[in-house]
Amino acid sequence: MALRPAPPRCRPAAALLLVAGLALPLGGQTPPAASAPQSLLRALGDPDPRRREAALAGLSDLGPETPALVQALVAALGDEDLYLRGAAALALGRLGAAAVPALARALEGPSSEVRWSAAIALGRVGSPALAALPALNKALADPSEHVRQAAAVALGGLGPSARSAAPELTRLLSDRDEAVRAAAALALRQVDPAGRASQLTQKALAASLDRLVPALMTELHVPGVAVALIQDRRLVWSRGYGVRNAQTREPITAGTVFEAASMSKPIFGLLALQLVARGRLDLDQPLATYAPEQLLPEQPERLKVTARMALSHTSGFPNWRPGGEEREGPIPLQFAPGSRFSYSGEGIFYLQRVLERVTGQPLDAWATRDLFAPLGLTATGFAWTPALGARQATGHRDDGTVLTTSKYQHPNAAYSLYTSAEDYARLLLEVMQAERGESKLLAQASVREALAHQVRLDVRDPVERPGAARGTAVFWGLGWSLNATDQGDIAHHGGSNMTGFRCFSQFSPSRGTGLVILTNGTQGSDLWTRVVAAIGDL
């Protein structure tokens, strides 16, 4: 609860009415000192809020030995004047241990407003509030989200002495209220700094997914979902829900192969960055100098397109030319290369064709040799193979009916990646390792450049996430979309193919966390959006 400042009319009145800790009646006479406590206590029941505030200010200057003081201050926690409630909580916090028994009782009273204020006061008491630990633990299940939040804050302030509250705090990590989840996460780090909190957090996230995902699958007619979680730069949990195909009913596992759709693009970016590190590609050298590519209509500006522009979607190409890239139809530039952002699969596909000439190999062979095989990824490839097909999920329409199973024979860096949730999570882990200089496959400088802000986007909103993960601005790196947040950038990318697949991934380089969600239904975008809005503050 934020303590509201007193209205301007109240503070001067209270100040003028106090002399040496005694409240003057509004009529102007100073009562004898001996009668001051009783007159102040009586004034707390005055119908005029100014008189009540002045009385409380006088009582706050008295010590805990004053008879009935604590009881009067606790009663003031339920006053209709919000300022007076806050002032009473502050006063009780200053009283310390003397106030704890009464606050513990108030925490179990019938009024949610009093319980809320009592929890706030206990948060200000400090270590003596440990005597109210049972009541604070119980308050974590209070019907009021305000009480739950304030109780979590109070427990966090007790540090490791309140470790017994960790299981209940863990449960609150999946609370329906965002502020409660944030308070519980902070409290867990305070009560269990040795690391057990991270295990509890993992269990809470898994429990949240087990609750959210099946319900959303039913509501949105999404037959299958695979999820993988990253904590502490490790793949800590993965699970499959539902079926690969609504007709054949094979179950989804964490190793089931999905279409990654546009999540192919940042993985292709990693391959391009490998060539940069080897001196075979300069991000800022025009691609036309590496390999001539006949693209119609002829436009001189096309000669300025670079790998950096293609990967940051500032090339000037449209997303896709009319009829698709395989028809080799006209592909005019929409604006001067490098001048602004516009998402473009064609820009990625153009860079792919140039780099295939640089490497002398098709994308799927080159990607497997340089990235997928060294990481031991057996469910990932840019082109369909029988081995991938044996584990492949089928896409579905909005109503859950089956679409034709894809077999991309010709790799396309913009959308043709096949992968599993676990394999894609391992790719994210490799990026995070490289960012710390701990990868043998990806250069630290290249990855840091990929995660740097290449262009700011004013045309897209941040992905909705709770708590400190709420985005404040959107940028694009080299392959990744980047949401700036109060806890550092979150890199992410989604995907949507016409074959019925919707997917999403994110990772936080600074926190070492990540999430992969793959779905085989066209309403899977709604599913992952709602999941990330609930738990995306990993």
pLDDT of residue 404: 95
Say if residue 294 is in the same domain as residue 417: no
Cα–Cα distance for residue pair 207/203, rounded to 1 Å: 6
Say if residue 341 is in the same domain as residue 373: no
pLDDT of residue 29: 40
pLDDT of residue 88: 79
Residue 278 maps to a domain: no
Residue 41 maps to a domain: yes
pLDDT of residue 207: 87
pLDDT of residue 40: 67
Position 36: which residue type? A
pLDDT of residue 457: 94
pLDDT of residue 310: 98
Closest by CA to 237, choosing from 195, 209, 259, 260, is 209
Closest by CA to 43, choosing from 96, 5, 84, 95, is 84
Residue at a domain's end among 332, 359, 386 = 359
- Give the phi and the psi of residue 518 in degrees, each rounded to 5: -115, 135
Say if residue 370 is in the same domain as residue 352: no
Residue 485 maps to a domain: yes
Residue 275 maps to a domain: no
Residue 156 and residue 186 in contact, taking contact as beta carbons nearer than 8 Å: yes
Whether omega for the bond prior to residue 31 falls within 30 degrees of 0, making it cis, is: no
Say if residue 380 is in the same domain as residue 467: yes
Cα angle, residue 348 at apex, residues 460 and 282 outer, rounded to 5°: 110
Residue 103 maps to a domain: yes
pLDDT of residue 185: 81
Cα–Cα distance for residue pair 535/181, rounded to 1 Å: 9
Say if residue 190 is in the same domain as residue 257: no
Cα–Cα distance for residue pair 329/346, rounded to 1 Å: 12
pLDDT of residue 47: 80
Mean pLDDT by 10 residues, the chain (538 residues): 38 30 36 53 75 73 63 81 80 85 92 91 92 95 95 94 87 80 85 63 84 96 97 94 97 94 98 97 96 79 95 95 76 93 96 96 97 97 97 97 95 98 98 96 97 93 87 96 94 97 97 96 97 90
Please count the structural domains in the chain: 3
The H or E element spanning position 228 is strand 224-231
Say if residue 249 is in the same domain as residue 310: no
Residue 319 maps to a domain: yes
Residue at a domain's end among 304, 336, 359 = 359
Say if residue 34 is in the same domain as residue 137: yes
Say if residue 500 is in the same domain as residue 368: yes
Say if residue 334 is in the same domain as residue 408: no
Cα–Cα distance for residue pair 219/232, rounded to 1 Å: 33
Q: Residue 500's domain is classified under what CATH number?
A: 3.40.710.10
CA distances from 364 to 306, 412, 413 (A): 22, 9, 9
Q: Residue 169's domain is classified under what CATH number?
A: 1.25.10.10
Say if residue 404 is in the same domain as residue 336: no
Residue at a domain's end among 342, 359, 376 = 359
Cα–Cα distance for residue pair 454/121, rounded to 1 Å: 47
Say if residue 474 is in the same domain as residue 523: yes
pLDDT of residue 194: 62
Say if residue 324 is in the same domain as residue 256: no
The domain containing residue 249 runs over which residues? 223-266+363-535
Residue 211 maps to a domain: no
Q: Which burial class, exposed, middle or buried, applies to 424 when counting CB atoms under 10 A from its CB (0-12, 13-18, 19+)?
A: buried
Residue 335 maps to a domain: yes
Instruction: Record the pTM.
Output: 0.71
Q: Which burial class, exposed, middle or buried, applies to 330 when counting CB atoms under 10 A from its CB (0-12, 13-18, 19+)?
A: exposed
Over residues 306-341, the pLDDT tens digits come to 999 999 999 999 998 887 776 677 888 999 999 999
